[in-house]
Chains A and B, each alone.
Chain A
Amino acid sequence: MGKKILVVDDDPDVRLFTQAVLEENGFTPLMANNGEEGEQMVKRQKPDLIVLDILMPKESGIRLYRKLKTDKEFKDIPVVVLSGIAEKSFLRSQKVLTEFGGDPVPEPEAYMEKPVDGDVLAETIKKVIG
């Protein structure tokens, strides 16, 4: 069984596309519809890497990322952000949340703006996961 990759994205087309890319490259994909579901999946499945969207219902990727990276148990799980939201906005939002009194969080292992080429996504994941 390949390494477990959790994809957190509310867009079914993106989930389908990412699932196909991951399977073709020997990974075991796990799917979640939003940040809330993603958090539960992380706790249950302890994935080897997370592909994370930002703008989603229930809980955004910004909050989930912050929760993961400040949790002793999960902070070392690498995260590849795959989103339409610009990287600059993501980093600024994390900075502001830290200024509001939150713990500082590191930058994600990789940041990719949608749409993304399947091969580039697979290569990025392989590079991050080692």
Chain B
Amino acid sequence: MEIRKLLFVTKFEELGFDALQSLLTLRNAHLEHVVFMNVIERDEVAMQRGLGYKRSEAVRLRERANIRFIDWAEDLFEQGMEVGVYIVVGNLIPQVIIAAEKEDADLIVIGCRDQSKLEMFYSGSDITELLKRSERPVLVYKPMARSGIVLEKPFEKPLLAVDGSPASLRAVQYIEKLKNVVNEVHLLYVASPKELKGTSNLNIQQLRKEKRKELEKVSEGLEDKGIRTRSHVYIGDTVEEIERAARECQSTIIVMGSSGRASWIERWIGSTPRTIAERSPFPTLIIPYQGD
């Protein structure tokens, strides 16, 4: 689960070289190879009545991407890194999956375009499709789209959402591998109000105590690996509380496990990673778990 090779998918508007540079902290976690990818979507060069395939437009877009990637690649090559490139015409997510397989990428990094609710409703979301289809970890990076700031060290202070499921424990293992780039991990369990066995303060305290105990086991494992941790139990709506915790803990990234296609069964896994990945202003790292 080391991150040796990263597939950096960009349309340039949402993810630039500054975003990539911030991810180079992963070199401390064995990153040595970056593969750039730009997908020219079919509708940009599609057949139109009387016009046919706009080959010259495809060439123009390809060259535009190529020139940028050459510029970025020179910088990385000079740092001793290995660099590859894919510029293809097609549908974004299927092409990303194909390239990730061909390259055997350890991490897919993709930007998140701001979509209106109406647009999401009608066209669905690339992020949702990628999270459903990818068997590899996906980092939905959002340095420019919403905050306008590129974090210098995005992995410095992760908020790790844990619920004891195999998927979330997989995410814990993933964080262990990042010990050289992580400074402090905030562990979070979000309890649903339904888990309360009563309405008194005592019930709430009891639930908090139980969940804290569960988190402590995870915490001890990470501390044994030399990673500093803090544990938190929040009660409420999962998505809202994860967001709230990330803000309060001044997290740099949200990390969650997901059991991929089977995910719609488990609670965390339901639609929480997808919703966080799409809507949260925080970069979101989703670790898939395929099960036994």
Contact = CB atoms under 8 A, between A and B. Distances in A.
A96 interface: yes
A89 B78 CA distance: 6
A59 B32 CA distance: 12
Interface stretch (B43-51, B66-74, B199-207): B66-74
A85 B35 contact: no
Interface in B65-94: 66-67, 69-70, 73-74, 77-80, 82-86
Given A57-B103, A58-B102, A86 B74 contact: yes
Contacts of A96: 78-80
A7 interface: no
Contacts of A59: 82, 84
Interface residues of B, number: 19
A92 B82 CA distance: 13
A32 interface: no
A115 B103 CA distance: 27
Contacts of A10: 85
A90 B102 contact: no
Interface string B239-266: 0000000000000000000000000000
A58 B83 CA distance: 9
A97 B80 contact: yes
B172 to A, nearest CB: 32
Nearest to A102: B80
A63 interface: yes
Interface string A52-79: 0011111110110000000000000000
Interface in B24-63: 35
A90 B79 CA distance: 11
B73 A55 contact: yes
Interface in A95-122: 96-97, 99-100
B82 A55 contact: no
Given A62-B77, A89-B77, A90-B77, A84 B84 contact: no
A93 B103 CA distance: 22
3 shortest A-B CB distances, which residue pairs?
A96-B80, A89-B74, A93-B77
Interface of B: 35, 66-67, 69-70, 73-74, 77-80, 82-86, 99, 102-103
26 contacts: A10-B85, A54-B73, A54-B77, A55-B84, A57-B35, A57-B84, A57-B85, A57-B86, A58-B84, A58-B102, A59-B82, A62-B77, A62-B83, A84-B70, A85-B70, A85-B73, A85-B74, A85-B77, A86-B74, A89-B73, A89-B78, A92-B77, A92-B78, A93-B77, A93-B78, A99-B80
Given A58-B84, A60-B84, 6 more contacts: A10-B85, A56-B84, A57-B84, A60-B82, A93-B78, A93-B80
